[in-house]
A and B are shown apart, each in its own frame.
Chain A
């Protein structure tokens, strides 16, 4: 029981870390056609996430891998149920990844245009669809006792699902805009500050709507009502969101970005705590739901994987922080010279 509960929260934590890290490069990629007025701007934007996005994306692989290792049944039912949505996300990530590498290789505007589109589509699609997927998980997925999904891709595009998609998108847009305020100078910096401010307003509106809609469309609040102390997680998240605006106004851009990172982690945990102990609830019958207790691996595997995670994740965090430290500061003009 204890081991399975630990794994439940580790599972949530890994997804939260994925959204916290890859979230800002999804945001930068989505803002890319709008804030990148010139080719120079675009190159600065790409280079602002250049050293990081690849390492960030491994959090997705790890979150997926840990789902597979610790909760194989969840892994099996979740990804086969969300088949089309996940395929779209994967294709988007493929195009985005190569676009960063390929764009600069041929000095032809048409060639660049193709990869520019890939960067935008490849960032926007996962940002939106991950939100749609998680909101649907929050409200329950129509699958039966055998784990067979009764629905299509369109089933997922219900109002609450779409609201979740917009919520994630806004989280990442703010996160990305703030990253650009940290990493850029001049006009692009000004535009990023202004975009971050405006997007923050939208995010606030959407976040509040999502919190309210969750009361009607999901059972997430049951756990909170049972243990009111948990409401503190929501309070901290809202405080972090407000903190983003405060720091932004003060011109403390990096702090604003950190507050945004906390907002993302808090938002994921809002859902994770509400779901407990279910990882993948069924909307057909509650007893079909896959939980930490009926869908986990054997105790031996959970123990071995816990050792692996306790050993390696801190090391990963350490060298990733070192990378961020190594490439801190603005993207300089001299970094872009041909």
Chain B
């Protein structure tokens, strides 16, 4: 394999692994901050135990998210140096702003939260978690602004053989990036909510810590319900914008080959990229794609054949990641609406609880596939319409990349296994036996429990 392919594999593996942890950090931090605030306001000790239980899981996840994120920034230099030199003027500054304005805050304050139980008042300690949550989500804004620029470059001119910044405001207020933000953040909140609901359901099924987990479930349920409905509406706006800015991606998402009006949606398709058609098409409904893309049943939608072969994204991956994401995205509001009607009878709804335990991985699958869609669907471009991925890689030896790729698989494989083991162990163990206050408190309050 060549350097480009190896580097793509490595970046994909590193990003997708990193992204197993980021959404939970974003979603769970807000939920925990809310729980801790409830504790400060009510003085109810259950909220404190809740905060500490979810906090423990949060910290395992957080550690993995942080360390896997560090490599990503540097991979632009190690593996994509031609890209970095070409767009650093814009893309690099967004990453640098993310570090200075947000990531610093998040990393410093998480240390304070972990070790500060005795050093700070309850109120200040809860505020620290809000800072962590806010800073994490701020980070996401800048990262998504950077990605949004790769999807739909704006505010630049080509000068001195590279893309140079001409309009910073245009970059920051890039509509594509803003839509990505309002898609990604709710997705992360949904994931956090399903994580909390699923683990709570596990304990409720075992009839342990019923009070604590019923309340946890309900808090998460509200988050899940609100954002899973929001994301459906936002997803539609996002789709319209993709139709406008990345027509080739839209065509691949729908395996749509022929340009035409009243473009159909095909419920199930297996594309045949070689012969520019679909091998199997089931359930063709005319006009729907035109409507989804342009909110007009008669609108013309460009088909894949309209684009030169070498400028089409891989159709199969784009199509299936989009379909699966949408299917799951439809399931989440249904599950949370059912939950809303059962919220006062959770203990009498074992089937629903069981489903919610098994639903934990679903938002993970949806959110990972969402990124596969965004990134693979943008191919062959690394910056849409501006630079091809094949022109972006570093002039390094393939063996070097092969070794680092193997290193990534080994290290991430081991970390993934250890992390999953610890998450499962702590999630199953639950919040520890209820009050005999002094003992529990001491154990929980000691930073040692989490750090040494």
Any chain B CB within 8 A of the CB of A13? Answer: no
Stretch touching chain B among A55-63, A188-196, A211-219: A55-63
Question: Which residues of chain B have C-beta atoms less than 8 A from A46's C-beta?
Answer: 451-452
Any chain B CB within 8 A of the CB of A231? Answer: no
Question: Which residues of chain B have C-beta atoms less than 8 A from A226's C-beta?
Answer: none
Question: Which residues of chain A have C-beta atoms less than 8 A from B107's C-beta?
Answer: 54-55, 57-58
In the complex, A103→B59 CA distance in Å? 13
CB distance from B65 to the nearest CB of A (A): 10
8 further contact pairs, Cβ within 8 A, besides A70-B92, A301-B93, A312-B104: A43-B448, A61-B99, A64-B99, A69-B96, A87-B78, A312-B100, A335-B447, A338-B446
Task: Tell whether, in the assembled complex, residue B70 and residue A80 are in contact, meaning their CB atoms are under 8 Å apart.
Answer: no
In the complex, A326→B82 CA distance in Å? 44
Any chain A CB within 8 A of the CB of B119? Answer: yes
CB distance from A142 to the nearest CB of B (A): 14
Task: Tell whether, in the assembled complex, residue B395 and residue A146 are in contact, meaning their CB atoms are under 8 Å apart.
Answer: yes
Task: Tell whether, in the assembled complex, residue A105 and residue B426 are in contact, meaning their CB atoms are under 8 Å apart.
Answer: yes
In the complex, A199→B95 CA distance in Å? 38
CB distance from A286 to the nearest CB of B (A): 20
Task: Tell whether, in the assembled complex, residue B92 and residue A297 are in contact, meaning their CB atoms are under 8 Å apart.
Answer: yes
A97-B63 contact given A298-B165, A308-B96, CB 8 Å threshold? yes
CB distance from B352 to the nearest CB of A (A): 32
CB distance from A28 to the nearest CB of B (A): 13
Stretch touching chain B among A200-208, A240-248, A316-324: A316-324
Task: Tell whether, in the assembled complex, residue B395 and residue A147 are in contact, meaning their CB atoms are under 8 Å apart.
Answer: yes
Task: Tell whether, in the assembled complex, residue B77 and residue A75 are in contact, meaning their CB atoms are under 8 Å apart.
Answer: yes
Any chain A CB within 8 A of the CB of B68? Answer: yes
Any chain A CB within 8 A of the CB of B110? Answer: yes
6 closest A-B pairs (Cβ-Cβ)? A72-B88, A79-B77, A68-B92, A65-B96, A76-B81, A55-B108
17 A-B contact pairs sorted by A residue (CB < 8 Å):
A50-B111, A54-B107, A62-B96, A62-B104, A68-B84, A70-B96, A75-B76, A75-B92, A80-B78, A87-B404, A91-B411, A93-B70, A94-B68, A97-B70, A101-B451, A104-B451, A337-B442
A76-B67 contact given A94-B411, A104-B452, A326-B116, CB 8 Å threshold? no
In the complex, A301→B129 CA distance in Å? 33
Any chain A CB within 8 A of the CB of B400? Answer: yes
Any chain B CB within 8 A of the CB of A229? Answer: no
Q: Which of B73, B90, B111, B401 contacts A55 (CB 8 A)?
A: B111
Task: Tell whether, in the assembled complex, residue B89 and residue A297 are in contact, meaning their CB atoms are under 8 Å apart.
Answer: yes
Task: Tell whether, in the assembled complex, residue A320 and residue B108 are in contact, meaning their CB atoms are under 8 Å apart.
Answer: yes
In the complex, A177→B231 CA distance in Å? 52
Any chain B CB within 8 A of the CB of A236? Answer: no
Task: Tell whether, in the assembled complex, residue A326 and residue B396 are in contact, meaning their CB atoms are under 8 Å apart.
Answer: no
In this complex, the member of A61, A300, A335 whose beta carbon has the largest number of chain B beta carbons within 10 angstroms is: A61
A304-321: which residues lie under 8 A (CB-CB) from chain B? Answer: 304-305, 308-309, 312-313, 316, 319-320
Any chain B CB within 8 A of the CB of A84? Answer: yes
Task: Tell whether, in the assembled complex, residue B449 and residue A69 are in contact, meaning their CB atoms are under 8 Å apart.
Answer: no
Task: Tell whether, in the assembled complex, residue A68 and residue B88 are in contact, meaning their CB atoms are under 8 Å apart.
Answer: yes
Chain A positions within 8 Å of B, measured between CB atoms, are: 42-43, 46-47, 50-55, 57-58, 60-62, 64-73, 75-80, 83-84, 86-87, 90-91, 93-95, 97-98, 100-106, 146-149, 297-298, 300-301, 304-305, 308-309, 312-313, 316, 319-320, 323, 326-327, 335-338
Q: Which of B77, B99, B103, B400 contacts A76 (CB 8 A)?
A: B77
CB distance from B368 to the nearest CB of A (A): 20
Q: Which of B92, B119, B395 contacts A327 (CB 8 A)?
A: B119
A304-B404 contact given A50-B114, A58-B99, A98-B418, CB 8 Å threshold? no
Any chain A CB within 8 A of the CB of B407? Answer: yes
In the complex, A90→B166 CA distance in Å? 34
In the complex, A60→B114 CA distance in Å? 22
Question: Which residues of chain B have C-beta atoms less than 8 A from A57's C-beta?
Answer: 70, 107
Any chain A CB within 8 A of the CB of B101? Answer: yes
A54-B60 contact given A46-B452, A83-B400, A104-B449, CB 8 Å threshold? no
Which B-chain residue is minimally distant from A52 (CB atoms)? B111
Question: Which residues of chain A have C-beta atoms less than 8 A from B87's C-beta?
Answer: 72
Task: Tell whether, in the assembled complex, residue A76 and residue B100 are in contact, meaning their CB atoms are under 8 Å apart.
Answer: no
Any chain A CB within 8 A of the CB of B326? Answer: no
CB distance from A226 to the nearest CB of B (A): 30
In the complex, A83→B71 CA distance in Å? 12
Task: Tell whether, in the assembled complex, residue B422 and residue A90 are in contact, meaning their CB atoms are under 8 Å apart.
Answer: no
Question: Which residues of chain A have C-beta atoms less than 8 A from B452's C-beta?
Answer: 42-43, 46-47, 50, 103-104, 336
Task: Tell whether, in the assembled complex, residue A68 and residue B76 are in contact, meaning their CB atoms are under 8 Å apart.
Answer: yes
Question: Which residues of chain A have C-beta atoms less than 8 A from B365's C-beta?
Answer: none
B398-452: which residues lie under 8 A (CB-CB) from chain A? Answer: 400-401, 403-404, 407, 411, 415, 418-419, 422, 425-426, 442-443, 446-452
In the complex, A100→B88 CA distance in Å? 34
Task: Tell whether, in the assembled complex, residue B77 and residue A78 are in contact, meaning their CB atoms are under 8 Å apart.
Answer: yes
Task: Tell whether, in the assembled complex, residue A98 and residue B419 are in contact, meaning their CB atoms are under 8 Å apart.
Answer: yes
Q: Which of B115, B120, B168 contacts A300 (CB 8 A)?
A: B168
In the complex, A151→B234 CA distance in Å? 50
Which A-chain residue is minimally distant from B94 (CB atoms)? A69
Question: Which residues of chain B have C-beta atoms less than 8 A from A86's C-beta?
Answer: 74, 77-78
Task: Tell whether, in the assembled complex, residue B165 and residue A47 are in contact, meaning their CB atoms are under 8 Å apart.
Answer: no
Question: Which residues of chain A have C-beta atoms less than 8 A from B66's C-beta?
Answer: 54, 97
Question: Which residues of chain B have C-beta atoms less than 8 A from A312's C-beta?
Answer: 100-101, 104
CB distance from B420 to the nearest CB of A (A): 12
Question: Which residues of chain B have C-beta atoms less than 8 A from A80's C-beta?
Answer: 77-79, 81, 394-396
Task: Tell whether, in the assembled complex, residue B443 and residue A338 are in contact, meaning their CB atoms are under 8 Å apart.
Answer: yes
Task: Tell whether, in the assembled complex, residue A308 and residue B104 are in contact, meaning their CB atoms are under 8 Å apart.
Answer: no
In the complex, A336→B449 CA distance in Å? 8
Which B-chain residue is minimally distant from A98 (CB atoms)? B63
Task: Tell whether, in the assembled complex, residue B67 and residue A83 are in contact, meaning their CB atoms are under 8 Å apart.
Answer: no
Any chain A CB within 8 A of the CB of B219? Answer: no
CB distance from A50 to the nearest CB of B (A): 5
In the complex, A193→B109 CA distance in Å? 30
Which B-chain residue is minimally distant from A71 (CB atoms)? B88
Question: Which residues of chain A have C-beta atoms less than 8 A from B85's C-beta?
Answer: 72-73, 75-77, 147
B104-134: which residues lie under 8 A (CB-CB) from chain A? Answer: 104-105, 107-112, 114-116, 119-120
In the complex, A127→B294 CA distance in Å? 56
Task: Tell whether, in the assembled complex, residue B98 and residue A65 are in contact, meaning their CB atoms are under 8 Å apart.
Answer: yes
In this complex, the member of A42, A80, A93 whose beta carbon has the largest number of chain B beta carbons within 10 angstroms is: A80
Task: Tell whether, in the assembled complex, residue B418 and residue A336 are in contact, meaning their CB atoms are under 8 Å apart.
Answer: no
Question: Which residues of chain A have C-beta atoms less than 8 A from B267's C-beta?
Answer: none
